[in-house]
Structure formats: C-alpha cells, structure tokens
Structure 1
C-alpha cells in the first residue's frame, strides 16, 4: 500500500487527482491540503509515502514545502504545474515526475507507476540499512537491460543497448535499433516505468527514446520539439516532456 497526500490550492484540482487515484488499487489517500503550512503539518502527522503537490500556491510554493521537510523523511513527490522551468530544483527535492495541467490520464498512470517503483526501492533500501552493515552497497533498481521478443515460435533477446527508440503500436510497442524493428507484447506506458531513466525517457505519449541517441533537438512554435537521432530518425517530443528531456540531455538529476 502506498499512502498519498494531495496538495493544491484549487479544490477542483485536488478532487480530480483523488478521483483518479480511486481507480488504482494499493493506493490510500491519507490527506488533502490547500496551502503550504497545512501541508507541512499534515505531512508531519500522516507521513505519506507520496505527495501530489502543486508548484504554484500563494504564500508558499510546492517546492518550498518540499524543501522545508528534512530529506530523510521527505516523501516522494509528483508535481502539478502549468510550467516547465523548475526541473533541476524539483529533482533535487526528490520529485520523481511532474504533470502539466490539465492533467493527461495516460501521463497520470505513468507517473503513479513510477512512484510505485520508487516507493518499493525506497522501502527496500531502508530495510537494508536496518539489517546490514554500512559497508554493504544498497541494491540498484532492477531496470530492464534486455527485451524478450517473440518471433513465431522463437524468442529473440534484444539488449537494451541496441535500442534507439520505442514507439507505441496499439496495445504493444515496437523497438527500433540497428536498422531493425521488433514488436514487443508490452504497452509503452508499462515499459516506461521499467526502463532506466538515465538511459530512456518518454518524450511523447507514443514514443520513448534512448537519451544518448539524441543528436539534435529543434524547438517548435507550439512548444513541442523535433528530435534527430544519430541514425537520422526524426522523433517528435511533446511539450509535456520537453522540460525533463532538456534537463537529462544536460546531464541533470534523474528520478
């Protein structure tokens, strides 16, 4: 069970997030707050594992709320915002994702899946700290490093290092790399939560790219961007993802 608090000065925004969370098993909403001071008191009392928190609130911003909480007890955070220019500071404060308003349903599910995985890793790490010596390295996240692709009656193993980008194909996904394509019986949303965010990043609701394959990006008038990969492939990045993409291309913090 992951315990969640929702923080936003707009009641309708809080209601919308809570309604979305109600559709997901293993999630308990332990509080909702309309301003920073109330959120700080509520987080101290309820100790949620995860907060959905608005960046722009009167009096005290969402980032200021997170910064006021000691790092060792600070909850994981998914930011709610209409802006994109806070990425580096946000990830320093353990924000694992952000959702642009109005919130897209598919992005909401993706962010919640990422939070579940991060919460599981955090619990694992804290359990290890309590039971093993300080010399023991904490476990690393178990991200996918290869894909099992069914070709007729055969199973082909495709290393993730050979994949340049991934696109949605209905309920499945297609891997592209080294001039070849492979149909994978897995949804793009599920894959996004299983891949190492240092290597792969979702840049569109239908596209994931390997970050080190991006050779060039060009901003578009609608705040989207056009990416050119090293093999010449052109991929569109939507404005929902551009802020994090630019941060990762610059070598900034990751979720």
Structure 2
C-alpha cells in the first residue's frame, strides 16, 4: 500500500463480542489497518459511523435495533465507508451489491477468507479515497426567514446549532435563527474541519471550544468562548478529538 495514503481506519459492528474479537485479532496482525471503533448494535453504530467516518466497516447484518443493511442505507452515499458484511445467512447478497459492499462473509469466518477481504479493501482504498477526497461543496451560508425578509447567515458566523424537532436553531452573535433542516442533515453538509456534532442534538464550531473536561462516563463537558456549557456524548468524542487535533496542528 502507498504509505502516503495512511492507514485504513476500521470500525467493527457486531452484537456478538466473540465475533468482534475474531476480526480485531486479525486486524492486529495487519499494519495497514487501524481499529478506531467497535459497536454492538445498529443504532449506536449509525451515530458513531456518521461522527467518526471510518474508511472501512465490518458490519454484522442482523443485530438489535437497526440491521447492518439499514445502517449503511441510512448513511449518505458520500459518507458510506467501504463495507464488509458479516452474516450467518446467505440471502443478503443482493442488498450487499446495492450498497456497494466490497465483500460478503458468511459466519463463522475463517482467517484466510478474512485476509482476502482485507486485501480487497487495500486494492479498493486508493480509488475510494480519491473519490471521497474530491472537493466537497460544504454549506457556506444558511437562508433563513426574519419576518418578511430573507436573511443569509454565513456558516463561519454560526457558533453552534441545536436540534428543534424537524428544524434546527442557529446561534450566532447572540441571535438565533430557525432553519428548516434536521440536525442530522446539516451535519452532513458542514465542513468537518470547522464543525463537529458533539451530541445527537448539538453541532459546535470547533474554534468556539475554550475548554473540554472529561467526565467519568466518557462523555465530556464543553465550555464555549461565550460561556455556554454543553455536554459532548462519548459517541462523538473520537471524531471531536480528531477534529480538534487537526485544528490545533493547522493553527500551530
């Protein structure tokens, strides 16, 4: 693998701890891959993958909550990682093809077959990476209504965004604006180097964070520059830590 591409960041999603362990053991023997997260159910996997954006996911098909197929289908195509589906049944091949999965492994998976899937990911990675690295049209401004007026709010002036049912509230300079978009949709439209979702109900502009304090349950308490206190869920902490590290290196 071309070293300039870096390691392939992997997430494992399976409700069986032993199944996750089998993949983890094999990954540990392959220096080209880095395990960044593991999840035991579909609901937490969807939130975690959307926040962390791994390059490759080993996805169990049948799990509590959302199935693996439903998790992948719920992700926007540009955010959908390379996927290797894991299942005890052989009747999901068509769905796997529709979601552009790179492999489909039947349990119990032997080491040789797992290595074959990893090799396939290595071959596909340069092409997937180049596609995902294409210039993204991140949201530059929001169109909001203020009485009879239409106002453009620059994204760079937004300090945080909070969910409000089917809408979202922008906070900027002491003012609030209501936009007709769900928070999940906005999270996919904003530059992740500038904004990060820190909770299922909150997105924060990274340079607004003045202090981050770890809590005992792996959540964190954020203090913003305007004095606001927000809770960051542990689901979003790995992606937030990566984004803050990138921001610090950029401004150093």
Whether TM exceeds 0.5 here: the answer is yes
Normalising by structure 1, report the TM-score.
0.55
1:179 maps onto 2:174 in alignment: yes
- Quickly say closer, same or farther: Cα 1:9–1:151, change in 2 above 3 A: closer
- Quickly say closer, same or farther: Cα 1:24–1:9, change in 2 above 3 A: closer
- Quickly say closer, same or farther: Cα 1:248–1:7, change in 2 above 3 A: closer
**CA deviation digits over 1:69-108, x for unaligned, max 9?**
565612899xxxxxxxxxxxxxxxx6xxxxxxxxxxxxxx
Task: Tell me the equivalent position of 2:153.
Answer: 158
**CA deviation digits over 1:191-227, x for unaligned, max 9?**
0111111111101000000111111100111111011
Report SS of the residue matched to 1:216.
Answer: strand
Report SS of the residue matched to 1:158.
Answer: strand
Task: Tell me the equivalent position of 2:61.
Answer: 14
* Aligned residues: CA RMSD: 4.5
Task: Tell me the equivalent position of 1:194.
Answer: 189
Residues 147 and 160 in structure 1, CA contact (< 8 A), matched pair in contact too? yes
User: Where does 1:41-190 land on structure 2 (aligned, <5 Å)?
Assistant: 49=100, 68-69=119-120, 73-74=124-125, 122=131, 140-190=135-185
Residues 7 and 52 in structure 1, CA contact (< 8 A), matched pair in contact too? no
Gaps of 5+ in 1: 1-5, 36-41, 78-93, 95-120, 126-138
- Quickly say closer, same or farther: Cα 1:71–1:170, change in 2 above 3 A: same
Residues 84 and 101 in structure 2, CA contact (< 8 A), matched pair in contact too? no
- Quickly say closer, same or farther: Cα 1:67–1:171, change in 2 above 3 A: same
Residues 103 and 117 in structure 2, CA contact (< 8 A), matched pair in contact too? no
1:226 maps onto 2:208 in alignment: no
Residues 51 and 76 in structure 1, CA contact (< 8 A), matched pair in contact too? no
